[in-house]
Amino acid sequence: MPDNWSYVFAAYGVAAVVLLAYWRRLAARAKNLAARTARRSA
Amino acid sequence: MGVRALGWLAVLALIAGLGTAFGYAPREAVQGNVQRIMYLHVPAVLTAYLAFGFVFLGSVGYLLTRRPGWDRLAMAAAEPGVIFTGITIASGSIWGKPTWGTWWTWDARLTSTAVLFLVYVGYLLLRGMIDEPDRRARAAAVVGILGAANIPIVHFSVKWWRALHQPATLLGPEPSPIAAPIFLTLLVNWIAFTLLLLYLLAKRTEIARLEDMHAG
Amino acid sequence: MSAYLRRAWIVVWKDVLSERRSKESLNALLFFSLLLLFVFQFALGPERARVEAALPGLLWLGFILAGLLAFGRTFLAERENDCWEGLVLTPGDKSAIYLGKLAGNVLLMAVVEAVLLVLFAVFFGLDFTGALPALSLVLALGTLGLAAVGTLFGAITAQLRARELLFPVLLLPAVVPVLLASVSATQVVLSAQPLGDAAPWLKLLAAADLVYLVVGVLTFEFVLEG
């Protein structure tokens, strides 16, 4: 059977994109909150 | 700062996972290199189960103690749980297309995982619909507990239903017997995904804690 | 113990009585069942063989669709008549209310299912009499599972604005095993296979019913807190 590397990269690619997007959302929210917390205690 | 270290550890482990999946694990005889998707697919589903275990833990913990930290754990685990379940389904589907010829087969694991996906998306939808923290936590906890208790029941019902309609899956995802390099690669990737889950949990619960602090 | 059972019984009795007087749920559900029959027929086309082949699935489709309507309304009376606080303030073990509501739902579904069977027999020219005892067992086990989860989730979604959307979204994935097992067991029973072939499915249903009941009884009080 041929190797179908495109499918392999598609699968790993989807996983990477989704996880990266979720992590970036988390990181942005965390930064936002850290700034708010700093302003609050300042 | 422990969270940051955990994050880096997870990244390192993921790199190691990729390395083993593409460099160390052998090319499979029958399916060819497309079988390497398994090193994503199987660790993803295992990590999803772990995440839903945390949902169950957080749900029970909240109902017993009423401490918000437990509810934060449940919520923080449900999000990556749904993501890893989605990755399991997507990778299973993509693996299936060249292997079995179709994007979807009602094979036991894909179907069970899809049902799991639906259950926990419903869980997140429910959480989104309730504003009051205590009511939201209680409602979600009950749904989370039933969802977790249902996992083995779903597994068996789908497996038996599947066995009725297709006695033998010709190209199963797991090669048998499992050779050492394959097992090791699976192990490394599973550890990497687990570390990633723990990191995401830590980060998400921290965000939730800060949000609660700012709100209350 | 007897106070607990009496509390559950009072809930059933009240619901049965108010249903007998108003008949609003039952009548609408029965009419809905009749409509479903037509929908199934039009969806599958005139060939009788297709309907017969799909029969177990059609039956349970009918039951689950009727169940979605019936279970979603479990706490409607309390909600609309401002009696929710009454439920919340009930002294003692609130799971008695759950069992009472569950029993009421099972009774309601029993009537709907019996009527649906008769309608199927009449409209599609089918004969269930031979399989009736075994079929009743399958229906009982399956309906108990559907109702156990339906009553619990009905309570959870009762106070939500989006309950009509959220209730089916929560219920359907949760009862997938019940559906799979019930349809498979019904298939065995209706095709005159020995009942032993359905035994694994019946055992699965019984186990699932037990799990759902235990979860329902243990967690109901947390749902009713406010």
**Distance, CA of B13 to CA of B190 (rounded, Å):** 9
pLDDT for residue C78:
81
The dihedral through the CA atoms of A42, B6, B11, B14 has a sign that is negative
pLDDT for residue B165:
63
Q: pLDDT digit string (tens) for B77-123? A: 999 999 999 999 999 999 888 888 888 888 888 899 999 999 999 99
Q: How many residues does chain C have?
A: 226
Asked whether the beta carbons of B2 and B146 are under 8 A apart, the reply is no
Best mutation target, B30, B37, B209, to test chain A (most A CBs within 10 A): B37
User: Which residues from chain B sit within 8 angstroms of residue C186, using beta carbons?
Assistant: none
Q: Which of B164-178, C126-140, C204-218 has the lowest mean pLDDT?
A: B164-178
**Residue ranges making up the domain that contains A42:** 1-42
Category of B101 on φ-ψ map: left (φ > 0), alpha (ψ -120 to 50) or beta: left
pLDDT for residue B174:
53
**Distance, CA of B118 to CA of B140 (rounded, Å):** 15
Name the DSSP letter for residue C94: T
> How many separate domains does chain C show?
1
C22: pLDDT strictly greater than 80: no
Q: pLDDT digit string (tens) for C156-176? A: 999 888 888 999 999 999 999
What does pLDDT average to over chain B? 89
pLDDT for residue B170:
42
Q: Which residue has better confidence, B28 or B65?
A: B65
Lookup: tokens for C151: 């009553």
Lookup: tokens for C45: 């086309």
Going by C-alpha positions, the residue among C226, C225, C171, C224 that lies closest to residue C11 is C224
Q: For residue B54, what pLDDT band results from cuts at 50, 70 and 90?
A: very high
Q: What is the pTM of this model?
A: 0.91
Collapsed DSSP state (helix, strand, coil) of residue C215? helix
Cα→Cα distances C118→B207, C122, C123, C191, Å? 57, 6, 9, 18
Best mutation target, B142, B160, B165, to test chain C (most C CBs within 10 A): B142
pLDDT for residue B169:
46
Please report, in angstroms and rounded to a whole number, the separation of the first and last CA atoms in chain B.
25
Q: Which of B116-125, B171-180, C58-67, C183-192 has the lowest mean pLDDT?
A: B171-180
Lookup: tokens for C206: 């019984």
pLDDT for residue C7:
83
**Distance, CA of B193 to CA of B42 (rounded, Å):** 10
Going by C-alpha positions, the residue among C136, A7, C191, C154 that lies closest to residue B101 is A7
3-state helix, strand, coil in chain C (%, to 5): 85, 0, 15
Chain-centroid distance, C-alpha B80: 7
Long-range contacts of C164-173 (CB under 8 A, 24+ apart): C164/C72, C166/B122, C166/B125, C166/B126, C166/B129, C167/C68, C167/C71, C167/C72, C168/C68, C168/C72, C169/B122, C169/B125, C170/B122, C170/B126, C170/B143, C171/C68, C171/C71, C172/B118, C172/C64, C172/C68, C173/B115, C173/B118, C173/B119, C173/B122
Q: Which neighbouring-strand residues pair with B28? A: B32
C3: pLDDT strictly greater than 90: no
B168: pLDDT strictly greater than 70: no
> How many separate domains does chain A show?
1
B149–C160 CB contact, under 8 Å = no
How many CB atoms are closer than 10 A to CB A1? 14
B91–A15 CB contact, under 8 Å = yes
Q: Is B151 on the interface with C (CB under 8 A)?
A: no
C152: pLDDT strictly greater than 60: yes
Name the DSSP letter for residue B177: S
Q: For residue C118, what pLDDT band results from cuts at 50, 70 and 90?
A: very high
CATH of residue B80's domain is 1.20.120
Collapsed DSSP state (helix, strand, coil) of residue A37? helix
B135: pLDDT strictly greater than 50: yes
Over residues C122-150, mean pLDDT: 92
Q: Which of B42-46, B176-180, C81-85 has the lowest mean pLDDT?
A: B176-180
Q: For residue B177, what pLDDT band results from cuts at 50, 70 and 90?
A: low
B153: pLDDT strictly greater than 90: yes
B53: pLDDT strictly greater than 90: yes
> How many separate domains does chain B show?
1
Q: What is the ipTM of this complex?
A: 0.90
**Distance, CA of B212 to CA of A5 (rounded, Å):** 46
User: Which residues from chain A sit within 8 angstroms of residue B80, using beta carbons?
Assistant: 22
Q: For residue C83, what pLDDT band results from cuts at 50, 70 and 90?
A: confident
Collapsed DSSP state (helix, strand, coil) of residue C86? helix
Q: Is B154 on the interface with C (CB under 8 A)?
A: yes
pLDDT for residue A1:
63
Over residues B3-31, mean pLDDT: 87
What letter represents residue B95's amino acid?
Answer: W
**Distance, CA of C190 to CA of C184 (rounded, Å):** 10
**In chain B, pLDDT over 70 holds for what percent of residues?**
93
**Distance, CA of B179 to CA of A41 (rounded, Å):** 57
Of A1, A18, A27, the CB nearest to B86: A18
pLDDT for residue B166:
57
Q: pLDDT digit string (tens) for B181-202? A: 888 999 999 999 999 999 999 9
**Residue ranges making up the domain that contains B129:** 2-215
pLDDT for residue C92:
77
A1–B98 CB contact, under 8 Å = yes
pLDDT for residue B99:
85
- CA-based nearest residue in chain B for residue C155: B139
Q: pLDDT digit string (tens) for A1-42? A: 667 888 999 999 999 999 999 999 999 999 988 888 888 777
What does pLDDT average to over chain C? 90
Chain-centroid distance, C-alpha B137: 22
Going by C-alpha positions, the residue among B18, B123, B117 that lies closest to residue B75 is B123
Tokens 């094979």 sit on residue: B107
**In chain C, pLDDT over 90 holds for what percent of residues?**
53
**Residue ranges making up the domain that contains C59:** 2-223
pLDDT for residue C139:
97
Q: Is A24 on the interface with B (CB under 8 A)?
A: no
